Structure 1
Amino acid sequence: MESKLNKLLKFPTPFTYKVMGLAQPELINQVVKIVQNYIPGMYTPDVKISSKGNYYSISIKIIATNSEQIETLYKELSNIKSVRLVL
């Protein structure tokens, strides 16, 4: 079965993940480490802190080479214990 992403995107393509989770210092490093495991490189995520300081919003940009890569990273990032949402 062909992924809908293959129909919508032309690879390689820039792709941004937004990871929202509890404001724990290790969260940023965990996100970067997971991305680097699948797509080696240097990443500088954009991090925003919620108004009450309880949550981080981490945006990280990659160059995706196929839809499986995108789907795998969604699953892996979602498995981080302190993550609440991956967009």
Structure 2
Amino acid sequence: MALNTNFDEILEFPCFQTFKVMGVADPSLSEVVISCLQQHAPGDYSPSIKQSSKGNYHSLSVRVKVTSKVHMETIYTEISSLELVRFVL
């Protein structure tokens, strides 16, 4: 699925992009997201994790080197499709 973004107009690739991932407060959320990232942008990731005030959700911030608009959109789409993930920014 092609996303209609203008990342190529506002960013110079390759660059680092921080993906913020909000998902269910499940112990495996971080592992699932990192596993997905390893498939599309192999690297050494150590996301910062914050818990929501009620403890139902976790927010992960992870910095990823992206090489193109398509690469960035693919990562966004793949992470968004994970069962435990609710939003990706």
Query: How high is the TM-score relative to the length of structure 1?
Result: 0.93
Aligned to 1:50: 52
**Alignment length (residue pairs):** 86
| Higher helix content, 1 or 2 | 1
Give the match's secondary structure for 1:25: coil
Aligned to 1:21: 23
Aligned to 1:73: 75
Query: How high is the TM-score relative to the length of structure 2?
Result: 0.91
Aligned to 1:41: 43
Root mean square deviation, CA, Å = 1.3
Q: Aligned partners of 1:66, 1:3: CA distance in 2, in Å? A: 12
Structure 1 residue 3 displacement after superposition: 5.2
Give the match's secondary structure for 2:45: coil
Unaligned 5+ segments in structure 2 are none
Give the match's secondary structure for 2:60: strand
Segments ≥4 residues shifted beyond 6 Å? none
Q: Aligned partners of 1:70, 1:30: CA distance in 2, in Å? A: 18
Unaligned 5+ segments in structure 1 are none
Structure 1 residue 52 displacement after superposition: 1.2
Percent identity over paired residues: 42
